[in-house]
Chain A
Amino acid sequence: MERWRFIDLGSPEPLVAQTFYEAVAEALHRGKGRSTLIMLQPGSAYVCLGYHQDLEKEIDLDYCREKGLQVIRRSQGGGATYLDGDQVFYQIIAKDSPVVPRNVEEMFEKLIAVTVETYRGLGVEAEFKPLNDVVVGGRKISGNGAGMHESTSILVGNVILDLDYEMMARVLRVPDEKFRDKMAKSMRDWVTNLRRELGHPPSAETVKQTYAAAFQELLGVELVGEKPTEEEWKIFNELVKPMHTSREWLYMETSPAYKREGRAVKIAGDVKVVEADHKAMKLIRVRAEVKGDEILGIQIRGDFFALPKEAIATLEGMLSGVKLEEEAISETVERFYKDTDAQTPGLKPRDYVDAVMKIKGLI
């Protein structure tokens, strides 16, 4: 049976909560120590950006400054999120361990099974949803990200005791407040937490114990409680902290694949809220909530006229539930013109199809 270290970091400051595991990974890479499970609750609220994201595009920095919220770019992927003490983090750092597959899909499935078991142990009917989600009644209840640091594999995730939906939506940069409202509503629809499921959340201590027990049972390892080593604190203070607090790291230039017009925010799983502008003779602004490539709801605005004035609402209704495929969208838009005799001076059916299809380029 493999012996792993178990480190309970308590409620440390955000930078330690979010990045100390990188020091553990570096020490492990250097050949010191064993594979490790860290658990903690953030000591205060902060905002966390995905590794490849554009800081200024994603985060409302003025608001974060005003509220004294630290912004940290993590070394893992995924999207920007608001984190606070109502979450319990688990951070798995492994090297050459048969417990942690290199294949990313397999790694998520194997390690997230521990999270699922933890929720079940706490009385919630959780399920694993590939690639990396845990859901209860279709709603996401745990976020997980993974990566590699040199010779080590890393998976980090959380058990959500409670969630401040308003703040989740507030810290992100959005085109306008309507987009924010849509996003907040979508988060409520698709993300849940233990308080909502159970009426009252368990204590963080109970969560940690339940998780550690499931970890040992499902992965067949023995956890041995330890403290971080001096070497790990040294690496944290000399390498990890200076890097994460540097302007260069925080404002890192993003990859070209990310530089797209419009705005897309991932809510949970394959649900996203997206907005795109299409410039034809007039401007058409399309905002949609999508699940995979299906339109759940859509709003079409712009500086165009439509007659009768209710016509666009009809089009929006007709597009709900339609797949984001050229043919399906085109067929719906043509049916709309035929059924309603709508007039859209300066704009052709094709323009609306192009505008809606722009959404697809953002998901």
Chain B
Amino acid sequence: MVKIDGNDFPEDRYYHREHMWVKVENGKARVGYNDWAQEAAGKLVNLNTRKVGRSVNIGKTLGTVESGKWVGPLKVPLSGTIAELNDEVLKKPSLINEDPYGKGWIAVIEASNLDEELNELIKGSDQEALEAWLNEEKAKHGI
């Protein structure tokens, strides 16, 4: 497990720059919100997503999350079709805070351009690239 400034970034995932993680499982992609982003947002109370069967494009909107009085976007980390949504998380979005990489997964995407788009994501095993990206994020906000 890679830890960057106290936040977890498991090595077996890929990371989209808009704070989504991807885990490839038999050609499909399980996706969720990363640990740094859930901590920055605070306890999540609402989650809305596109529906199962919808085709979605990388970088576009997958849904929205709300913590207290803050609403933020969830971006699509890989193009494809939404094959499954996590009903437990839809009912109880704070599962994302409790277990962002486990019970807090959000959707499974039947990826349409997996190999090519995975190259656009940051590999969890590439700690240097992950750190560089998070530092960029922090620098933007003067952290």
Interface residues of A, Cβ cutoff 8 Å to B = 51-52, 75-78, 96-105, 131-132, 144-148, 150, 252-258
B68 and A132 contacting across the interface, CB-CB below 8 Å: yes
Q: Known contacts A101-B142, A255-B47, A257-B90; is A51 also within 8 Å of B42 by CB? A: no
CB-nearest residue of chain A to B67: A104
Known: A52-B46, A52-B48, A102-B140. A255 touches B69 (CB 8 A): no
CA distance A99 to B142 in the complex (A): 7
**Nearest chain-B residue to A96 (Cβ)?**
B140
A99 to B, closest residue via Cβ: B142
Chain B residues with CB below 8 A from A102, complex form:
40, 137-138, 140-141, 143
Output the residue of A75, A101, A148, A255 with the most chain B CB within 10 A. A255
Task: Out of B39, B46, B67, name the residue touching A255 (CB < 8 Å).
Answer: B46
Cβ-based interface call for B64 (8 A): yes
Tell whether, in the assembled complex, residue B91 and residue A51 are in contact, meaning their CB atoms are under 8 Å apart.
no
B42 near A105: Cβ-Cβ < 8 Å: yes
Give complex CA distance A51, B45 in Å. Answer: 12
B141–A148 CB distance below 8 A: no
CA A4 – CA B66 in complex, angstroms?
A: 28
Given contacts A99-B142, A102-B141, A104-B40, A77 and B47 within 8 Å (CB-CB): no
Q: Which residues of chain A have C-beta atoms less than 8 A from B143's C-beta?
A: 101-103
Q: Residue A257 contacts which of B41, B93, B141, B142 (CB distance < 8 angstroms)?
A: B93
* A98-B141, A254-B48 known, 12 other contacts, Cβ within 8 Å: A51-B71, A52-B48, A98-B142, A101-B142, A102-B143, A104-B41, A104-B67, A146-B70, A148-B72, A148-B73, A253-B48, A257-B93
Most buried by B among A75, A144, A147: A147
Q: Say whether A144 contacts B141, CB under 8 Å.
A: no
Give a binary string over B59-100; 1 marks a CB under 8 Å from any A CB, 0 the rest.
000001011111111000000000000010011110000000
B42 (CB) vs chain A CBs: closest residue? A104
Q: What residues of A have a CB within 8 angstroms of the CB of B48 in the complex?
A: 52, 252-255
Contacts of A257 in B (CB 8 A): 45-47, 90-93
Which residue of chain A is the closest to B73 with respect to CB atoms? A148
Contacting residues, chain B, for A146 (C-beta < 8 A): 69-71
Q: Provided the pairs A257-B45, A257-B91 are in contact, do residues A77 and B66 lie with their beta carbons within 8 angstroms?
A: yes
Question: In the complex the two chains form, what is the Cα distance from A11 to B31 in whole Å?
Answer: 44
For the complex, what is the distance from the CA of A149 to the CA of B143, rounded to whole Å?
20
Residue of A nearest to B40 (CB): A103
Q: Is the CB of A100 within 8 A of B141?
A: yes
Instruction: List which B99-143 residues lie within 8 A (CB) of chain A.
Output: 137-138, 140-143
Contact yes or no, A147 B142, CB < 8 A? no
Residues of chain A with a CB closer than 8 A to B41's CB: 104
Answer whether A52 and B91 are a contact pair too, CB < 8 Å, given A98-B142, A103-B40, A257-B46. no
CB distance from A316 to the nearest CB of B (A): 29
A156 (CB) vs chain B CBs: closest residue: B69
Let me know if A147 and B42 touch, CB within 8 A.
no
CA distance A318 to B96 in the complex (A): 38
Give chain A residues whose Cβ lies under 8 Å from the Cβ of B91. 256-257
Contact B68 A76 (CB under 8 A): no
Least Cβ–Cβ distance between A128 and chain B, in angstroms: 14
Q: List 14 A-B contacts (CB under 8 A).
A: A51-B64, A51-B66, A76-B71, A97-B142, A102-B141, A103-B141, A104-B41, A104-B42, A105-B42, A146-B70, A148-B71, A255-B48, A256-B90, A257-B45
Cβ of A252: which chain B residues have Cβ within 8 Å of it?
A: 48
Interfacial chain A residues near B69, Cβ < 8 Å: 76-78, 131-132, 144-146
A10 to B69, CA, bound (A): 26
Q: Which residues of B contact A150 (CB under 8 A)?
A: 73
Nearest-CB distance from B65 to chain A (Å)? 9
Whether A52 contacts B142 in the complex (CB less than 8 A), given A257-B46, A257-B92, comes out as no
**Which residue on chain B has the smallest CB distance to residue A145?**
B69
Bound complex: CA A145 to CA B71 (Å): 8
Q: Point out the residue from A75, A101, A132 that lies within 8 Å of B141, measured CB to CB.
A: A101
Q: Are B70 and A147 in contact (CB under 8 A)?
A: yes
Q: Are A77 and B71 in contact (CB under 8 A)?
A: yes
Q: Smallest distance from the beta carbon of B44 to chain A beta carbons, Å?
A: 9
Taken together as a complex, chains A and B put the C-alpha atoms of A104 and B87 apart, in Å, by 26
Smallest Cβ-Cβ distance to A53: which chain B residue: B46
Among B23-43, those with CB < 8 Å from A are 39-42
Q: How far is the CA of A25 from the CA of B17 in the complex (A)?
A: 20
| Distance (whole angstroms) from the CB of A25 to the closest CB of chain B | 12
